[in-house]
Chains A and B, each alone.
Chain A
Amino acid sequence: MTDNTPKLPKDERVAVYICHCGGNISDAVKVEELEELARRIPGVSVVRRNTFMCSDPGQQLIIDDLKAGNADRVVVCACAPHLHETTFRGAVARGGLNPYMYEHANIREQVSWVHHGPGATAKAAKLVQAAVAKAGNLRALEPIRMEARRHATVVGGGIAGMKAALDLARRGIDVTLVEKSPFLGGNLARLDRLFPTEDKAADLLASLYAQVTASRRITVLTCAEVVAHSGYVGHFDLTVRRAAPTTTEDLELIARFEKAGSPLGTFVPFVGFAPVLPATAEETIAVATGAVVLAVGFRHYVPRQGEYGYGDNPEVVTLTQLIEALAGEQPGGQLMVNGRAIRTMALIRCVGSRHIPGVDEEDENGNLNQHCSRVCCTASLQAEREIKQRFPETVIYDFYRDIRAYGRGHEEYYCGASRDGVLFIRFEPTGRPVVARSPAGSDNPLTVTVADKLLADRELEVPVDLVVLANGMVPGDTAKLVELTKIPTGADRFLLEVHPKLRPVEVKEAGILLAGTCQAPMDTTEACAAAAAAAVKAAAVLSRGYVELDPFVARIDPELCKGTGACIEECPQEGCMSLVDGKATVNPALCTGCGMCVAVCPEGAIEVNGWTLRQYEAMVDAIVAAPVEA
């Protein structure tokens, strides 16, 4: 390492593979020509082409060459490394070579997708030259292996959190379940029957709750919040604070719980389960854990004062309030809400969802909810059907923008509600229904006015006894967690996964996983699927007992280090660099390989594995050198 002069490949034998990407590359890059050019690069021992290098036959080329002793390092010229670098490292390992004796040249995103004509092939040749030059300077590396604690922490005790905790415990992982409120069950405890199965939310929760509390591996902490977080996958240290509830929401729930007078551990409708009495004193608990599953859920959108008459008129309620009214006592043959008989009602959809910039008003924090809440459509249809079936005389007008009954069995609710006689009236976001008090002497207290999109914008005036606002889902209060864990949020302010399809429950930081509606609006089916996925991901890492991390971390040459500590000041990862016996040392589990320390070390004593200065210089030299001639 003292010698930073790049060496020219001499004895090294580099195998170069050129991928056509089924025409994605070969349509713009003359691959035959590139193959010829690659052959002339000093140090290259073999060059091959394939339509899809990532296919099994493509990978087999690498394995065969290595097994035959044709090469001792590998360059694949293909798509962006984030797509298939790991694939090809795997092939190198299966060929019997250290997987880090591998370099990747991106000739698709950086060449064929952006250049055409002769320049494309020339640029590809340069990138191949540079990759070969770096390959000549590669060193075998070993992944960093760290011990992993067989313990996970689940934050949030809604259905997703309970499900994740249970699945982890079943795989032999100890779990601490941290729930902010005094109750388990989350928002589901505030529902009655669930679409599309018509299960009772209470029954679903009761079965989970019984298993969670029976499991000797699960420790439940209510009235608890994570207040500090440090460490890395397999080795996180959390601080949890338990304290007496103070929020109005929690206090309301406690009041209902006390009023119900049910014993601990039984379900209280629209509250949940209290495993223990609410905390009265403050305590701080250290949790040593290996993975963290975030299942902190969502909040119901609360309409603004005056939004569709909400807050100004007692006859305007939210869907969640209607669901509660329907679950309560309904003695007569007539629907009663807040003590009023309802003969005609209106339901207005997309309240607090699907906002449009420039059309809708931002909230006090400048936010719009542009997302679709996904569940309110079917939940509304379900409530309407129930009303029509129990109180057939009720006339229901449903004001909608779209009906998004998207899941298995959901469309049946839509058809059913239509069949039952719910009248659907479509409006545009620019022509929302207006709710106003009816003129004196009217039979119904409120009047909804709208232009019917389905009747060439004809103005309709609908007198009603009740207006229900289908309020959607908004992100929970995750600001503190986001600050602690540094995980990203999307434009919709829900927690954001790495890749919606390929890595749907992972975030960038290894060992932290997402479960349920903290990530996006989901119904219970989807929230539980996400929870199961998160549990499996966490268990897969923890049950091995160790974690393997990429070795691309800073390495300090103790001979050169004079202990100036410039690196420690510069390192953005807290706790990663420290002075031990006057020499800088790196905690490889915390190092992200950013290279800040390399830049500030006055002694040139640091390099980042896999990205050494020598390797960089070899690449730069190759790029500025004369092009290889055809």
Chain B
Amino acid sequence: MPDTPFFEVNEAIRSLGGEDLNLCMQCGTCSGVCPWRNVETEFFIRRLIRFGQLGVEGSESEEVLFGCTTCGRCVDNCPRGVAIIDVVKGMRAMGAEVGAMPATLKAAAGSLESHGNPWGEPRAKRFDWAKDLDLPPFGPDTEYLLSVCCTSCYDARSRKIARALVQVLRAAGVSFGVIGTDENCCGEAIRKTGNEEAFGRLAEANVSLFNGRGVKKIIVTSPHCFHTYTKEYPALGGEWEVIHHSQLLAQLVADGRLKVEGKVAAKVAYHDPCYLGRHSRIFDEPRAVLGAAGATAVEMGRERDFSLCCGGGGGRVWMETAHDQRFSVLRVREAAEAGAEVLATACPYCLTLLEDSRKTEGFEDSLEVLDVAEVLARAIPPA
């Protein structure tokens, strides 16, 4: 049966944020540079856009509609400058209207609604990771608000990032405080699933919370928070000086405020998180932090703008990915092949996925996965 194009669908996608839908000329550059080309898949971004343009069937499956990790490789390479991620977002929003939303994403959205975090964890436990740390509350006397990613608030492995960061900040004498359980998920990933409503609620709550407390400067531990706070909140009235912890640490070392006395004598490969590197153009500072810790840098080949996505963006961190489709598996293999003893990164999602793959691929004894803050903490004697 031939299909008949359904132009109303095209119009709906455009009105749901995918404004550039028709600007795509179908050259296919996007599909060519997409990380999905490293694995077997049904997902081709060009084809997804085509389904949207014509408003014909074919994009309904989870793998196709929710395949995109929003890593941004294609956006960087599109000759027409199509805002591809926005088109994906628009198509997902369109799908959501007709109920095409994977169960895992529904669960994440539900948890965000009731707990302010996507992991189904009670709000009250948001600061359990810092129970014994005696963190000062944010107030007029504190310079920075330390805003910790939901994942690092609840996940056992990820909490260590936050704790290492606190250790280093204290060693450098940085003035910071925390808000605590009132904070909400930044909403970056849920927005990418097409759930504009959930994002709006979270963003509004955070903006009024931070503004109400007189926040001027924020340290974030996730590139996803960094992206939202710097690129999406300003339109909603949230304008602060936002710094990713890798930037701050590099600055502290450069200014001599942080004395690094020890040395991490290991070969370290650095994995550029998509939202820190490609999306936010922060490439050098995390490397500077590793260098300050005395690490020997080894290269994996896909660096900086060409970094391979871990697979966790665009809401996929909440979804199940088949083992043979995991980019993080490829990434830990690359690190191992490059002779790295440590695979460092600067994003809680990347860390979670790489950690997992390190284990499934049998590198438990030969390769560690660490955040740059953790690497630096090892070079600093505990207070």
Contact = CB atoms under 8 A, between A and B. Distances in A.
Partners in one complex: yes
Given A415-B80, A418-B80, A455-B50, A460 B3 contact: yes
A449 B1 CA distance: 12
B2 A423 contact: no
A534 interface: no
B4 A421 contact: no
A259 interface: no
Interface string B14-28: 100000101111100
A428 interface: no
Contact of B22 (A403, A418, A452, A456): A418
A460 B51 CA distance: 12
A397 B53 CA distance: 11
Interface in A441-455: 449, 452, 454-455
Nearest to A397: B5
Interface string B46-78: 110011011010100000000000000000000
Interface string A439-481: 0000000000100101110111111000000000000000000
B3 A423 contact: no
A463 B5 CA distance: 9
A62 interface: no
Contacts of A403: 25
A458 B56 contact: yes
Given A395-B7, A423-B53, A452-B54, A418 B2 contact: no
B4 A463 contact: yes
A301 interface: no
User: Number of contact residues on B: which range applies?
Assistant: 20 to 34
B4 A462 contact: yes
B10 interface: yes
Interface in B266-321: none
A78 interface: no
Contacts of A458: 3, 56, 58
A514 B2 CA distance: 50
A424 B56 contact: no
**Which of A418, A425, A461 is the most central at the interface, judged by chain B CB atoms within 10 Å of its CB?**
A418
B4 A418 contact: no
Contacts of B1: 459
Tell me the dominant secondary structure on chain A's binding face: strand
A422 interface: yes
Given A395-B7, A419-B22, A449 B54 contact: no
A426 interface: yes
Interface in B243-267: none
Contact of A421 (B3, B22, B26, B50): B22
A455 B56 contact: yes
A460 B50 CA distance: 13
A419 B24 CA distance: 9
B38 to A, nearest CB: 22
Contacts of B46: 454
Nearest to B51: A455
A449 B10 contact: no
Contacts of B56: 455, 458, 460
Contacts of B51: 455
Contacts of B26: 424, 426, 454
A447 to B, nearest CB: 9
A449 B2 CA distance: 8
A455 B51 CA distance: 8
B5 A462 contact: yes
A123 B4 CA distance: 70
A394 to B, nearest CB: 11
A423 B54 contact: yes
B25 A418 contact: yes
Nearest to A461: B2
Contacts of A459: 1-3
Nearest to B19: A419
A423 B22 contact: yes
Contacts of A455: 47, 50-51, 54, 56, 58
Interface in B195-211: none
A426 B54 CA distance: 12
Contacts of B7: 344, 395, 423
A422 B50 contact: no
A478 B25 CA distance: 40
Interface in A382-428: 395, 397, 403, 414-415, 418-426
Contacts of A419: 20, 22-23
B50 A454 contact: yes
Contacts of A395: 7
A415 B4 contact: no
B25 A460 contact: no
A418 B24 contact: yes
Given A452-B54, A462-B5, A423 B10 contact: yes
B164 to A, nearest CB: 48
A461 B4 contact: yes
A449 B26 CA distance: 20
A423 B26 CA distance: 11
Given A415-B23, A418-B23, A423 B5 contact: yes
A127 to B, nearest CB: 53
Contacts of B47: 455-456
A415 to B, nearest CB: 7
A420 B23 CA distance: 8
A8 to B, nearest CB: 70
B91 to A, nearest CB: 15
Contacts of A414: 25
Interface string B27-49: 00000000000000000001100
A463 to B, nearest CB: 7
**Which of A344, A403, A423, A461 is the most central at the interface, judged by chain B CB atoms within 10 Å of its CB?**
A423
A456 B31 CA distance: 15
B323 to A, nearest CB: 28
A444 to B, nearest CB: 11
Contact of B25 (A424, A449, A456): A424
B5 A422 contact: no
18 contacts: A395-B7, A397-B5, A415-B80, A418-B22, A419-B23, A420-B22, A421-B14, A422-B22, A423-B10, A426-B26, A454-B26, A454-B50, A455-B47, A459-B1, A459-B2, A460-B4, A460-B54, A460-B56
Given A420-B22, A459-B2, 16 more contacts: A395-B7, A403-B25, A414-B25, A421-B10, A423-B10, A423-B54, A424-B25, A424-B26, A452-B54, A455-B58, A458-B3, A458-B58, A459-B1, A459-B3, A460-B3, A462-B4
Interface of B: 1-5, 7, 10, 14, 20, 22-26, 46-47, 50-51, 53-54, 56, 58, 80
